[in-house]
Chains A and B, each alone.
Chain A
C-alpha cells in the first residue's frame, strides 16, 4: 500500500465538474494550513529584527539576513544538543532493532515452545505499565539518572514494533525456505542471519524509522531524567527550555546585548530543529505509511 495509491478505479468517471473543483479547493486549503506555518517561521528566521518587531513578516523574509543562524552555529550548547540527539537516536535505534529481532524471530517460529506465554509477557506492557513515577524511581535506582543511557535504554523495547515484526516474519518468510535450510544443517542463528534478515530488509527499514523518529521527537523522558547534566540535553529539550519556557538564553546574548527581540532567534532555532525531519521526511513517508498499514492488520 503506497501513500499515494489512488483508488484503482476512480469512483466517478467523467470531466472535472464544479464539485470536483470545490473538493480540490478544500483539500488545497487544508494542505496550505499544514504548510504555511512553516513557511512563516522560516521567513521570520531569515528576516531582520526590525521587520519582525514591526510585524511586517508574513510569508516572505523582509530584510533578508542569516544573522540568527550564525548565532546558532556559534552557540556551542545548541550544537552539543544536536550531537547528543544524533548519538542517542542512533544508539536507540540499533538497540531497539536488536531487541525487536531477538524477540520477534523466536516468537514467529511454530516449533518454539512457550511462545504464547512469552508473547503475553511482551504484549502486556502495551496495556499496563508502572507509570511515570515508578519508571522514574527505577531509572534512579539503576543509577542511570543524568546519563545518556536514561534516554537510550528504557524506551528501546516497543511491543507495538515487535508485533509488526512478528507478523511480518510469520507471514513473509516461506516455511519451506527455512525447512530446506534446516535439512542442509543450518541452525537458527544461521537461518536468522542468512535467510530471515536479508529477506526482511523492508520491514527492518520501516521499524528503524519508527524507532528513530520516535526517539528524535520525544522530550518527556529527557525532561525527567536529564536534570543537572545540561551538556546531555537533547535538541528537543534544549528547544523546550529556549523557546517555550524561555528560561534559557543564548550564550551569546550576554555579550551582544543589542538583541532586544529574541523572536527571530527563536524562529531560527525552530527551523534548525525541524530541518533534519523535514529533510528526510519525503523519503521516509512511504515507509511510515506501510508501517501503519501493517500495524493495522490484525491476525
Chain B
C-alpha cells in the first residue's frame, strides 16, 4: 500500500523552512511521545524475534544459548532439504492452497453474482446474515462441528447416507476424502464473507448501463456477462493477485483442527512441521530454517504478484 501520499496537499508547506530535527521534536513532542509506545512494542514483539532467525544458520543448543551456539552456515538448510518430510510439506502446502484458491476463490464470485440478481432487499439481508455466520467461528469450533457432522460412526451426514441406503463414508479418516472435506469446509467457511467486496463493487455499477442494455434487448444473462462481470473484473484481479501471494502460507489452525491420526498424507504442511520439529521436538534450528524458507518464498511471491498486478494496470498491493 502506498504510504503517506494522501496528505501531501495539507498545510505543511506554509511553515516549511528547512529546520533541524530538534525543531520538530520540540514542536511536536506530543506526537513523538505517542508514537513511541507502539514503536517500542513493535520492536520488542515483531523485530526482536526477527533476530532469532539467525539460529537457522547455527547449531542451536538450548544449553549453550543463543550466543554460545555454533555457526554452521547453510548446514541446517542442507539437512532440511534432504528430509523427505520437507518435500512433502512444500508439496502439500502448495497443493492445499492452490486447490483452496480454485474453490474458495470462485465460490464468492458466483454467490455474489446470484445475490446481485435478487431484487428483494429483505431476502438478501436475511440470507447474507446466514451466509456470513461461519466466518465468525474459530477453527476449533468449525473442526468440532465437522467431526459432529462427518465422523464415520455418529456423524449426521453418514446417518443420512445410510438412511438412504448408501454406505458410510470415512470423510475425515481417509486421506483423499480428508482433502475433499478440508476444501469443502474451507468453501463453507468463507463463501458468504467473500461476497462482501464483490457486492460492494457491483453496487457501484451505473444503473443506466443496465437500462441501455435492456433497450438493446439484452436478457438477464446477457447483462450479467456483459455488464456485471466486466465491472467487477478489477476487483477479481486484485483479490486474485493478493491470494496468489499467499500460496506458501498455511493456516496452522485450520489444518490442526481438522487433522487426525488416520490422515497424514496431506496434513504434513510447513506450519505443521514447524510446530512438530520446533515446539514438540525442540529442534529449533531446523524449524526456524523451514519457517524462514517459507517467509522468503512468500515475500518473493507477494512482490511478484504485485509486479504482475501493476503490469495488468491494477493498483498493486504494496
Contact = CB atoms under 8 A, between A and B. Distances in A.
Interface residues of B, number: 112
Nearest to A108: B7
Nearest to A261: B154
A299 B2 contact: yes
A270 B144 contact: yes
Contact of B28 (A112, A138, A239): A112
A1 B198 CA distance: 12
Contacts of A6: 118-119, 121, 124, 203
Nearest to A175: B10
A41 interface: yes
Contacts of A293: 196-197, 200
B291 interface: yes
A133 B52 contact: yes
Interface string B126-155: 111111111011111101110111000010
B78 to A, nearest CB: 19
Interface string B163-193: 0000000000000000000000000100110
A11 B117 contact: yes
Interface in A96-149: 98-100, 102-103, 105-116, 118-123, 125, 127-138, 142
A184 interface: no
A120 to B, nearest CB: 6
B202 interface: yes
B262 interface: no
A121 B39 contact: yes
A257 interface: no
A40 B155 CA distance: 10
Contacts of B214: 13
A219 B138 contact: yes
A31 interface: yes
Contacts of B46: 125, 129-130, 157
A177 interface: no
Interface stretch (A51-59, A72-80, A197-205): A51-59
Interface string A281-296: 1100100110011001
Interface in A166-206: 167, 170-171, 175, 179, 187-189, 192
Contacts of B140: 219, 236-237, 239-240, 243-244, 273
A213 to B, nearest CB: 7
B63 interface: no
Contacts of A188: 28, 30-31, 34
Interface stretch (B88-96, B98-106, B274-282): B274-282
Contacts of B288: 131, 133-134
Nearest to A59: B156
Interface string B265-303: 000000100110011000010011001101100010010
A268 B115 CA distance: 34
Interface in B29-79: 30-32, 34-35, 37-39, 41-42, 44-53, 55, 66
B131 A30 contact: yes
Interface stretch (A16-24, A63-71, A248-256): A16-24
B215 interface: no
Interface residues of A, number: 121
Interface string B187-226: 0100110001101101101010010001000001001000
Contact of B144 (A8, A52, A55, A239): A239
A134 B30 contact: no
B130 A273 contact: no
Contacts of A175: 10-11
B257 A240 contact: yes
Contacts of A24: 118, 123
A244 B144 contact: yes
B246 to A, nearest CB: 11
Contacts of A113: 21, 24, 28
A11 B137 contact: no
A224 B279 contact: yes
B76 to A, nearest CB: 12
B138 A217 contact: yes
B116 interface: yes
Interface string A214-248: 00111110011000000000001101100110000
Contact of B145 (A8, A11, A41, A219): A41
Contacts of B202: 7
A293 B41 CA distance: 28
B252 interface: yes
A165 B294 CA distance: 30
A292 B198 CA distance: 12
Contacts of B119: 6, 10, 12, 16, 20
6 contacts: A7-B116, A41-B148, A105-B34, A129-B50, A129-B295, A133-B278
CB-based closest 6 A-B pairs: A134-B52, A9-B207, A131-B291, A130-B49, A110-B10, A217-B138
